Amino acid sequence: MSQHTPSSEERPHIPVAGVVYGDTIYWITIAATVIVIIGSVISFVTNNTYIDPTYMLSSIWEGKTVDEIWVGAVGAAPNGHWYLSKLATGNGLTAFGIALGVFSVIPAILAAGYVLFREKQVLFAILALVAALITTWAMIA
């Protein structure tokens, strides 16, 4: 291993791109977690749910497929970001929180890529952009 004792004992400079990436993901994920907690509470405490949690759990234990569960609950399986139109319900809000947590990677990579580009690390900035594009494509495709 090429690890060795440094001559300088000063604290190394933390790469700004790493800090930007970490901070962006950190705060969006915490916001998403709070939304997920609120959504879960609404799902279980109130009747304001898109799909009844009891029906969902019993269907899973019965071994039904995802499509069968959705068809049985709301008549059709979703194909897209269904939760965006159901934010007032517990399930919708919980799913939105999870999606927001997953989404946090995209702005974080783009922000880090921008910083890398400003620091003239063009190769890594392009790689960050490619990673963000692949993730965005997976989200909208």
- Judged by beta carbon, residue 33 or residue 117, the one nearer other proteins is 33
Residue 100 near residue 2 (C-beta atoms within 8 A): no
137 φ, ψ (degrees, to nearest 5): -60, -40
State yes or no: residue 8 binds other proteins (CB under 8 A).
yes
Q: Cβ–Cβ contacts within 10 Å for residue 53, how many?
A: 14
Smallest gap from Cβ 7 to other proteins, in A, equals: 9
52 φ, ψ (degrees, to nearest 5): -60, 120
Q: Tell me the HSE value of 137 on the side-chain side, using a 13 A CA sphere.
A: 6
State which of positions 12-41 bind other proteins (CB under 8 A): 12, 15, 21, 25, 29-30, 32-33, 36-37, 39-40
State which of positions 39-98 bind other proteins (CB under 8 A): 39-40, 43, 53, 56-57, 60, 66, 70, 77-82, 91, 94-95, 97-98
Q: What is the DSSP letter of 89?
A: S
Smallest gap from Cβ 63 to other proteins, in A, equals: 14
Q: Cβ–Cβ contacts within 10 Å for residue 86, how many?
A: 18
C-alpha distances in Å from residue 30, one per residue of 52, 127, 133:
26, 26, 24
The binding track of 121-140 with respect to other proteins, each residue x by CB under 8 A or -, is x-x-------x--xx--xx-
* Residues forming the site for other proteins (CB under 8 A): 1-6, 8-12, 15, 21, 25, 29-30, 32-33, 36-37, 39-40, 43, 53, 56-57, 60, 66, 70, 77-82, 91, 94-95, 97-99, 101-103, 105-106, 109, 121, 123, 131, 134-135, 138-139, 141
